[in-house]
Amino acid sequence: MGPFKAYLIDQDEGQTRADFVSMDPSQLDTGELTIKVAYSSVNFKDALAASGAGRIIRRFPCVGGVDLSGTVAASSDPRFQAGDAVIATSFDIGVAHHGGYAEYARIPAEWVIPLPAGLSLYEAMAIGTAGFTAALAVVRMEENGLEPSKGPLIVTGASGGVGSLAIDMLARRGYQVSALTGKESETDYLLGLGAAQVLLRSSLDLSRIRPLDKTLWAGAVDNLGGDVLAWIASTMKQGGTIASIGLAASASLNTTVMPFILRGACLLGIDSGYIGEPYRSGIWQRLASDLRPQHLQTMTRCIAFDDLPGVFDDYLQGRAHGRVVVAIAAA
Ligand SMILES: NC(=O)c1ccc[n+]([C@@H]2O[C@H](COP(=O)([O-])OP(=O)(O)OC[C@H]3O[C@@H](n4cnc5c(N)ncnc54)[C@H](OP(=O)(O)O)[C@@H]3O)[C@@H](O)[C@H]2O)c1
């Protein structure tokens, strides 16, 4: 194994910069598995990390890419053999441990799972952290008693990666899903994923959010935070469940306890980062079976590794559409 191509994020006098470099295998981090990366993907977090817009990277320099799929090149862990197809997402990958934007990665075996039967290496990255998180939200909400008969759901940040995948999975399970988006141009796309209706963010009056408003939602998957999440809390039905996933709009939350103590609403925190086994593999098994997204092809585009730097701005400007897979060294 000789030098290989990597997209390295570094800091220079407090400024984040990222570029393609040639890396030597000896520069890889420690881990039981050396993986020949086939595909990676782009998540909101990857754009924040590469641009320095968020304090995402915890160790400089760091190869970006929180997701990767590929083939085991070498393993010192008896659970994996050379040639095995694998997925690695989350944990410190791409933030404090060299990640998926490189032709090779060396990853602790605890962070790696075998590719579930029924998914290709490409499909695994079309799903990626975004789909794993959406599935985790669906599973956690249903563990909390949510079912289609309880009433309609809302998904925010609908046209992004987590939003698109959440709509797909929830609609497939029989939920009536309202997609909240900032982009009117995405209406047909969102209806095509299975949304029953599309709501525009501009149609909401978020200037005066009441502690309790007219009840609308039995469930919510929120990718935005801030005022939208506060409005959702105030409009939850009795016993409704909110899965709080993201902060694409704001990390703040200014609400009251009223929805929680007078309507029994639940706010579930969803953190995909450090979910260990066997729960992690269980979610991926479901992503390959009953939660398998039905519209992966429609929502995903594949870019060449060289084109990676050009996509981050869309994420930072709220223009992300569905999922982007990065072909690193696909066969
Ligand atoms: N908790 C976890 O484990 C976890 C895992 C993955 C992601 N996340 C978080 O979940 C969120 C979504 O991730 P993603 O990868 O799906 O991101 P994404 O693909 O960039 O999608 C985000 C979407 O949110 C909306 N949006 C973006 N900026 C906005 C703004 N300033 N104000 C209002 N809406 C805005 C846009 O959709 P519309 O125009 O359709 O509204 C955008 O397409 C991010 O905050 C991410 O950090 C958390």
Domain closes at, from 223, 254, 269:
269
Residue 253 lies in a domain: yes
Q: Helix, strand, or coil here: 256?
A: coil
> For position 14, what pLDDT does the model report?
86
Best residue among 43, 95, 156 to mutate for probing ligand 1's pocket (most ligand atoms within 8 Å of CB) is 43
Distance 190 CA to ligand 1 centre (A): 15
- 330 pLDDT more than 70: no
Does residue 317 sit in the same domain as residue 252?
no
Residue 277 lies in a domain: no
Residue 165 lies in a domain: yes
- 108 pLDDT more than 70: yes
Does residue 62 sit in the same domain as residue 19?
yes
Q: Which residues line ligand 1 at a C-beta cut-off of 6 Å? A: 43-45, 129-130, 133, 157-163, 181-183, 186, 223-224, 245-249, 270-273, 315, 318, 320
Best residue among 156, 159, 162 to mutate for probing ligand 1's pocket (most ligand atoms within 8 Å of CB) is 162
204 in Cβ contact with 231 (< 8 Å): yes
Does residue 139 sit in the same domain as residue 91?
no
The 10s digit of each residue's pLDDT in 190-216 is 999 999 999 999 999 999 999 999 999
Residue 275 lies in a domain: no
Does residue 16 sit in the same domain as residue 106?
yes
The 10s digit of each residue's pLDDT in 239-295 is 999 999 999 999 999 999 999 999 999 999 999 999 999 999 999 999 999 999 999
CA neighbor of 64 nearest in space, from 32, 25, 37? 37
Does residue 109 sit in the same domain as residue 149?
no
Task: Quote the CA–CA distance of 16 and 275 in Å, as a whole number.
Answer: 29
The domain of 311 spans: 4-115+295-327
Does residue 255 sit in the same domain as residue 162?
yes
Answer with the residue of higher pLDDT: 310 or 14.
Answer: 310
Does residue 32 sit in the same domain as residue 59?
yes
Distance 319 CA to ligand 1 centre (A): 10
- CATH number of residue 111's parent domain: 3.90.180.10
- Both tokens of 58, joined, read 């915890």
Residue found by looking up tokens 């598995």 in the block: 33
Concatenated DSSP letters of 30-82: --SEEEEEEEEEE-HHHHHHHHTSSS--SSSSEE--SEEEEEEEEESSTT--T
- CATH number of residue 184's parent domain: 3.40.50.720
Beta strands in 182-310 (DSSP E): 197-200, 217-222, 236-244, 266-269, 300-304
Work out the mean pLDDT of the chain and round it to a whole number. 97
The pTM of this model reads: 0.98
Closest ligand 1 atom, residue 273 Cα: 3
- Domain total of the chain: 2
Distance 85 CA to ligand 1 centre (A): 29
Does residue 307 sit in the same domain as residue 180?
no
Residue 122 lies in a domain: no
Residue 286 lies in a domain: no
Does residue 300 sit in the same domain as residue 180?
no
Closest ligand 1 atom, residue 320 Cα: 43
Does residue 182 sit in the same domain as residue 211?
yes
The 10s digit of each residue's pLDDT in 52-107 is 998 899 999 999 999 999 999 999 999 999 999 999 999 999 999 999 999 999 99
Residue 284 lies in a domain: no
Task: Quote the CA–CA distance of 256 and 258 in Å, as a whole number.
Answer: 5
> For position 1, what pLDDT does the model report?
85
Does residue 99 sit in the same domain as residue 219?
no
Does residue 174 sit in the same domain as residue 249?
yes
The 10s digit of each residue's pLDDT in 110-154 is 999 999 999 999 999 999 999 999 999 999 999 999 999 999 999
Residue 99 lies in a domain: yes
